[in-house]
Structure 1
Amino acid sequence: MTDSLGVELRGRETAAAIKEEIAGLVRSSGTTPRLAVVVATGDEATLWYVRSIAKAAAGAGVACDIVDLGPAAQAEGIRATLERLSADPGVHGVMLQTPLPEGVSAQELAASIDPAKDVDGANPLSLGRLAAGLPAFAPATAAAVMALLDRHGVTLKGARAVVVGRSTVVGKPLAHLLLDRHATVTVCHSRTRDLAAVTSTAEVLVAAVGRAGLIGAEHVAPGAVVIDVGTNPTADGGLTGDVDFDAVIGRAGALTPVPGGVGPVTTALLLRHTVTAAGLT
């Protein structure tokens, strides 16, 4: 918790610091790390996001190849592409972007990514190693939550942390990351009884469900640090989080905005993971 109220934890400053660090490592090493992002969708919002990764990569000195297989791609073709990129010594990081064509399982295909290049922690082997406390890349969004907490000096040792959401992308890996930092962690989900009774005990509350406005003032303890991972589309083409920002900002000690909170840090950490996979850290 924090002594003050209503502090916005903006992610752009954290992301900029990470990218500056990356650029310095790349310059000093003389090596250009390469990230390959495999895409198989026609969704314009997703394609915009992938282009934003490539733009951020260019600014940090990381090469980024967008491998666009198109929305008609089949599972076998995607798998073959992931295997080829995993075997390519010139590629240091491999990421499979979702959504995928109907009937194609991202979890099954992610098993084709070499764990050493699995910069978004999607391979079940990466997730298992993370759970066991072994070296592995964590999913970038879960890692971004930790980076924001660290940058803003949030004490995790002994803290009561509640994660709302149990996906393999955020909720479950984040719970392990928090446990590794000695927080006392509770994971909530759609079947949790009296959600507010649980979340209102948290000193650190993370909302990662994908349900706009799920977390209101009654869910938040005064002074709690609230991290909003949700990115829900609005009718006007914008984004809103899982937290009712206006209701919570005056009660929380600190709160991430959407957009501009976790998102920029997630992108920066994909690049840092790629740099690590290239052996520069």
Structure 2
Amino acid sequence: MRVPPFGVGTFRLTGQTVIDSLRHALDLGYRAVDTAQIYGNEAEIGQAIAESGIERSELFITTKIWTDNYARNKLVPSLRESLKKLRTEYVDLTLIHWPAPGNGVELAEYMAALAEAKALGLTRQIGLSNFNIELTRQAIAAVGKGEIATNQIELSPYLQSRKLVAFLEEQGIAVTSYMTLAYGKVLQDPELAQIADKHQATIAQVALAWALQLGHAVIPSSTRRENLASNLLARELRLDADDMARIARLERNGREVDPKGLSPRWD
């Protein structure tokens, strides 16, 4: 994979909360950090990273371009501003946050601007977030096959997006799963609870291990050090074929995130 399989997310974490969360995560061994311009926490993340003393080369930092900055004359300057906040000369991965059809900027324009950011050395890799199959095809056509590192999508035991995942795998594009716990809804699932009991694990560990075993990257977040530590243990959990089959049957198209005006037509 061109993206680390396990990272820490920072969605909805701001101010001292995100600083403390990231300090705990880095101390526990996390080295991949996911943020976005719209999260409003890049400066705090930059502070926490700087204060950690960890070498930049050991970290993998992802940010996402917000829709207001898609125009060719805005994307690169906005990324430069993100780099200042993050206190780094480059990020490892920059994503288009939402396809936002009809927002006035054509896909070919913002993908060209994203490719320019890579050519300038502002980002090591480029990718997508929340893109369906057709829009991913258009993005590939705009920047070239092999250029798109990942498509970060909502994916959980309740929303498995098998058609989109199969397409991305065919194209050699890594899947990054966000909302893997479905806003915590899967933590109440009796089927997952049985699997967790079987392995003497937590339900969160089971859900994360499921995604990892499918070959996806995960970026769970938490404000609690004990949860951050517990989530990491999902890397060591091995689910058997029966476990994976049981989880596969939990699919219910349970989408949690679908903002009007930003979302594509889902596959």
TM-score exceeds 0.5: no
TM-score, structure 2 as length reference? 0.34
Which of 1 and 2 has higher RCO (CA within 8 Å, sep 6+)?
Answer: 1
Q: Given the two structures, how large is their TM-score scaled by the length of structure 1?
A: 0.33
Answer 1 or 2: which has greater helix percent.
2
